[in-house]
């Protein structure tokens, strides 16, 4: 998670008023990205102004442009950062199950990860909705970096299990879409409509989703 885009308050050391610690360039850049994430999620790419983006990051517009050449560059940086974080998390979490051929563990962990990501980062989810509605070319970047990457990760596992005769001969791409649709659709309904049709917790939901899926694909 990104830090709040505020200056660190440090003691003056002489009993005087606290002084503001100077942020490094990397910290300042991270603060701008964190602030911009909130603004873009509320206003969309086209609706957000550079003045609003600078203010949210605690900087002036000239400083904003020192770190990001344009509003589009800033939006791209958010997508690339969050996509990289998501894929690193997925790889670290799912690799042990994939190596062990633990089907239930793999799909249960994948479902929990997605369910919790939407709960933990609703602002980012809303930003992506704006991105899809705006129809900007940056939507293609997100699709390639995160959606397609996640699909390929799951499809590769399904392909391997089909070849091992653990799963029946299903289309890995279609099976992947079927599985991922469960946690994503559930999370989107909760986030955007405050849906409480399913009242149990995420771990139980993930367990049931994994069970439903595996009963359909196991040989």
CA distances from 103 to 86, 130, 157, 161, 165 (A): 21, 35, 9, 9, 13
Here the CATH number for the domain that contains residue 96 is 1.10.357.10
Same domain membership, residue 126 and residue 89: yes
Same domain membership, residue 180 and residue 136: yes
CB 84 within 8 A of CB 191: no
Q: Which domain holds residue 41?
A: 9-67
β-bridge mates for residue 9, sequence order: 20
Confidence (pLDDT) at 7: 41
Confidence (pLDDT) at 131: 80
State how far the Cα of 5 lies from the Cα of 67, in Å rounded to an integer.
15
**Predicted TM-score of the model (pTM):** 0.82
3-state DSSP assignment of residue 126: helix
Q: Is residue 41 part of a domain?
A: yes
Same domain membership, residue 83 and residue 23: no
Q: With a cut of 50, list the residues of the chain below it in pLDDT.
A: 1-12, 17-19
Confidence (pLDDT) at 196: 93
CB 67 within 8 A of CB 76: no
β-bridge mates for residue 111, sequence order: none
Same domain membership, residue 89 and residue 133: yes
3-state DSSP assignment of residue 66: helix
Q: Is residue 36 part of a domain?
A: yes
Confidence (pLDDT) at 14: 53
Kindly give, in sequence order, each residue whose CB lies less than 8 Å from that of residue 177, ignoring residues fewer than 6 positions away.
151
Digit-coded pLDDT (tens) for 22-67 = 778 899 999 999 999 999 888 888 889 999 999 999 999 999 999 9
State how far the Cα of 93 lies from the Cα of 17, in Å rounded to an integer.
45
Q: Of 45, 67, 89, which residue sits at a domain end?
A: 67
Q: Is residue 191 part of a domain?
A: yes
Same domain membership, residue 170 and residue 90: yes
CB 74 within 8 A of CB 32: yes
Kindly give, in sequence order, each residue whose CB lies less than 8 Å from that of residue 48, ignoring residues fewer than 6 positions away.
36, 39, 40, 71
Q: Is residue 4 part of a domain?
A: no
Same domain membership, residue 100 and residue 186: yes
Q: Is residue 3 part of a domain?
A: no
For the chain, the domain total comes to: 2
């Amino acid at each position: 998670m990104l830090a709040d885009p505020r200056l660190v308050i440090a003691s003056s050391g002489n009993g005087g008023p606290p002084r503001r610690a100077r942020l490094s360039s990397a910290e300042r850049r991270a603060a701008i990205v964190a602030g911009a994430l909130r603004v873009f999620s509320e206003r969309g790419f086209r609706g957000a102004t550079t003045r609003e983006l600078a203010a949210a990051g605690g900087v002036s517009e000239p400083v904003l442009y020192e770190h990001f050449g344009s509003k589009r560059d800033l939006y791209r940086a958010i997508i690339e950062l969050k996509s990289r974080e998501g894929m690193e998390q997925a790889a670290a979490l799912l690799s042990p199950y994939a190596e062990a051929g633990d089907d239930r563990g793999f799909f249960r962990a994948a479902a929990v990860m997605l369910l919790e990501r939407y709960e933990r980062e609703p602002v980012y989810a809303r930003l992506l909705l704006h991105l899809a509605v705006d129809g900007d070319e940056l939507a293609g970047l997100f699709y390639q970096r995160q959606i397609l990457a996640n699909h390929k990760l799951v499809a590769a596992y399904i392909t391997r299990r089909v070849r091992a005769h653990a799963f029946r001969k299903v289309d890995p791409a279609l099976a992947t879409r079927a599985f991922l649709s469960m946690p994503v659709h559930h999370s989107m309904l909760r986030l955007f409509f405050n849906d409480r049709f399913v009242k149990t917790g995420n771990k139980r939901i993930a367990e049931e989703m994994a069970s439903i899926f595996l009963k359909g694909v196991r040989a």
